[in-house]
Chains A and B, each alone.
Chain A
Amino acid sequence: MTPTSTPKPKRITDIGPPNYEKFLPPVIKRNYGQWKYHETLAPGVLCHVAESGEKLYTVRAGSPRLLSVHTIRLFADLADKYCGGFVRFTSRNNVEFLLTDAANIEPLKADLAAAGYPVGGTGRTISNIVHTQGWVHCHSSATDASGLVKSMMDALFPYFAEEKLPAKLRLAVACCLNMCGAVHCSDIAVLGVHRRPPKVRNDVLPRICEVPTLIASCPTGAIRPATVGGKPSVEVIEEQCMYCGNCYTVCPAMPLNDPDNDGISIWVGGKVSNARTTPKFTKLAIPFLPNNPPRWPEVVDAVVKIVEVYAAHARNFERLGEWIERIGWPRFFELTGIPFTRYHIDDFKHAGLSYARSAHIRF
């Protein structure tokens, strides 16, 4: 190397995220692991009390998850104004401001309300809806996640801002069967579904896809090799396809978007917490509703109905799935007015485990 050459700056890799300790407010550093108890002061406002007697106030605000840099800067400014520049986000995409001065709670809430970010989502509420990318950014989506979330949260807003439910109610949206997000274990899950097999694009498939990987991607073995026009391709056994879109993820020559047949299914009764009962999967409530943007009225009405029936009938602390287990599925379908169909009876692996194998029958 000649002495005159400017060395290229060293490329930094594999450093991992910044250490979280840099981002903890002093009150947390002082009381780390020494919290004694907490109480809810108002919906969206928590107070954690440390063994030392110090108090930490949390103000939780809802967000659309898809955030502009302008909004993030607004949150940063509010954090500077009210909490020494410290802020965090939750596993359900809410933003949380961490305060030491209780006198700042109401002014912060007022600023958040003025900017359009509502406070709530703690305790017996519907917190923010965990969701996926949808038409905003995903290739396999059967619907739009953000639009569904916005439409449902507008309709369910009082349940976010006030504690009106028997227990917490966790909603999730996934725009296809991949279910990015804990959709399969939510109280109510809204799931985008395709209903027709992929259309094989034999013109481009041999050039852009690896056939063995494509065949292996199918959960039901519905894809088999075929020679089309003298070139290696695949065919789909239509009766075996359940439209998951996994093949499209590994091979772009298997598109399955179909406006007339894509739509929404609704699932209920899942949970991840161990409180009282063990974690549960969601179960099918409604196999299909149409995609009806921008407001999806059929989906919103169905979800609101389920929430209202649950709120009116469940006991204190009973999650949606626990309530259904107590009253039984026939009564759930009766109370909600949802028809029970052939699609509700499982026919995949281990389906028999969900058959009613007793004479315990309610009338």
Chain B
Amino acid sequence: MADENGKPKTKLLDELEKGPWPSFVTEIKKTSDVSPMCDDLMGQLELSYEERKGHWKHGGIVGVLGYGGGVIGRYSDIPEQFPKVAHFHTIRVNQPSGWFYTSDALRTLCGIWERHGSGLTNMHGSTGDLVFLGTKTDELEPAFAELTAAGFDLGGSGSCMRTPSACVGPARCEWACYDTLKLCNDLTQAYQDELHRPPFPYKFKIKCSGCPNDCVAAVARADLSVIGIWKDDIQQDDKAVSEYAAAGLNIQKDVCDKCPSRCMSWDGGKLTIENRECVRCMHCINVMPKALQPGKERGAALLIGSKAPIVAGALLSSVLVPFVPAEELLDTIQELVKRIWEFWDEYGKNRERVGELIQRVGMANFLDAIGLDPAPEMVSAPRDNPYIFFQKEEAK
């Protein structure tokens, strides 16, 4: 497999170094000086490209002392051929809120991973963690010791609470309806035990988006989706609206006609918004950021239950609490999450996400269990079937 300089021949992968988009193959190759693991990774990956199949196994309990998550055990299924990646575990490092770093922090992380792993990373993993890609079991504790000494900690995996994530929020966005970075950080700190020691039937994710544009895909990927909205009227600057019109924006066609609740009208000089009918979709604000802004009474909607397909099918989150004022978000979420976890813990089946549990037992029973009253904002429409299970105390 190896040519003269000791590096694997990678005829197929070399093809992926051509072209304008930066190449992951180049990244792996140039890390060869950090760890010989990278050579065997290239060798095994080239074999996967030749055979058109993967060569990893997972399983085996690996981790750091006292934690039940944060490390994903990964093993080659052909260790005789690629002994340097016989063990190639992933370490999930909890990212700072909003993925902000200083150059010094990045260099510290690079140094740790150069000393204790492959030198390859994902910036970042799907859930949000900084992913250290590939190391051996006996490097886990030393890597962890250096990480915590530098002020970093591990993220979640398995049946842990997963690492919460947040959009850029008030750090750089005029649409942030609450402090996504602070909420994400506060929740992460509040649930360190749940993040590190799996207490649940399966994973639980929280994602914090500052507005309904939902830049962290909270509605699709979080068991608890925190999506910023406002309650009062859109802030409107008529002079700036006129400037957009003068600059060539077709306000009738590109703004009013695209409004989902048709709550806007334009008479050629003045834009009128019927705010009671606005569904806070963000389109008009996205198109005219200088002229329109979310209102001043800001907070978030809490939605529950989204997930990818495994096990019982993909779900989008649905409304649980239509509006929580920004300053009450942390307390409200902590109280709700406590009740949700209690119910899920008692009734959830192994590997059943909260959304799937709600599908199985019904939203009304779920609301009873967590002590929330039903509200019309929770449904797109009331039921259209007459199979109503009346409660015993209501019928004599």
A in complex with B:
yes
Q: Which A residues form the contact surface with B (CB < 8 A)? A: 11-20, 22-24, 28, 32-33, 35-39, 48, 56, 58, 62-73, 75-77, 79-80, 85-91, 93, 95, 98, 116-118, 130, 132, 134-141, 144, 146-147, 149-151, 153-154, 157, 160, 177-185, 208, 213, 216-217, 219, 244, 246, 249-250, 252, 257-259, 262, 272-277, 279, 281, 291, 293-295, 316-317, 348-349
* A85→B103 contact, CB < 8 A: yes
User: Does B56 have its Cβ within 8 Å of any Cβ on chain A?
Assistant: yes
Report B90 CB to chain A, min CB distance, Å.
7
Residues of B within 8 A of A219 (CB): 310-313
Q: Mark B126-170, 1 if CB is under 8 A from A, else 0.
A: 111000011000000000010011011100000000000101101
* A146→B24 contact, CB < 8 A: yes
* B119→A182 contact, CB < 8 A: no
A-B contacts, 8 of them at CB < 8 A, read A12-B148, A14-B193, A20-B100, A66-B122, A72-B110, A88-B98, A136-B24, A274-B279
Known: A37-B289, A213-B350. A262 touches B52 (CB 8 A): yes
Known: A76-B106, A93-B124, A180-B308. A66 touches B220 (CB 8 A): no
Cβ-neighbour of B102 out of A85, A208, A259 (below 8 A) = A85
* B121→A72 contact, CB < 8 A: yes
* A275→B94 contact, CB < 8 A: no
A249 to B219, CA, bound (A): 25
Report B102 CB to chain A, min CB distance, Å.
5
* B310→A24 contact, CB < 8 A: no
Closest Cβ neighbor of B196 among chain A residues: A14
* A273→B96 contact, CB < 8 A: no
Cβ-neighbour of B133 out of A118, A137, A178, A179 (below 8 A) = A137
* A150→B45 contact, CB < 8 A: no
User: Does B192 have its Cβ within 8 Å of any Cβ on chain A?
Assistant: yes
Report B132 CB to chain A, min CB distance, Å.
10
* B123→A184 contact, CB < 8 A: no
Residues of A within 8 A of B358 (CB): none
* B289→A16 contact, CB < 8 A: no
Number of B interface residues at 8 Å Cβ cutoff, please give it.
128
User: Does B252 have its Cβ within 8 Å of any Cβ on chain A?
Assistant: no
* B48→A73 contact, CB < 8 A: no
Q: Which of B305-354 contact A (CB under 8 A)?
A: 308-314, 316, 349-351
Report A29 CB to chain B, min CB distance, Å.
9
Most A Cβ at <10 Å: residue of B65, B113, B217:
B217
A132 to B125, CA, bound (A): 8
Report A118 CB to chain B, min CB distance, Å.
6
Q: Mark B59-101, 1 if CB is under 8 A from A, else 0.
A: 1000001110000001000000000000010100011111111
Given contacts A14-B193, A48-B172, A294-B16, 18 further A-B contacts (CB under 8 A): A13-B67, A13-B196, A16-B153, A17-B95, A32-B170, A38-B173, A64-B21, A65-B124, A67-B122, A71-B30, A88-B98, A93-B123, A135-B48, A157-B21, A216-B349, A274-B219, A277-B260, A317-B283
A95 to B337, CA, bound (A): 33
Closest Cβ neighbor of A14 among chain B residues: B192
Residues of A within 8 A of B272 (CB): none
User: Does B290 have its Cβ within 8 Å of any Cβ on chain A?
Assistant: yes
Q: Mark B16-56, 1 if CB is under 8 A from A, else 0.
A: 10111111111110110010000001000100110111111
* B192→A65 contact, CB < 8 A: no
Residues of B within 8 A of A150 (CB): 16, 19, 21, 23-25
Known: A23-B100, A48-B174, A91-B216. A244 touches B310 (CB 8 A): yes
User: Does B267 have its Cβ within 8 Å of any Cβ on chain A?
Assistant: no
* B174→A37 contact, CB < 8 A: yes
Residues of B within 8 A of A132 (CB): 126
* A274→B148 contact, CB < 8 A: no
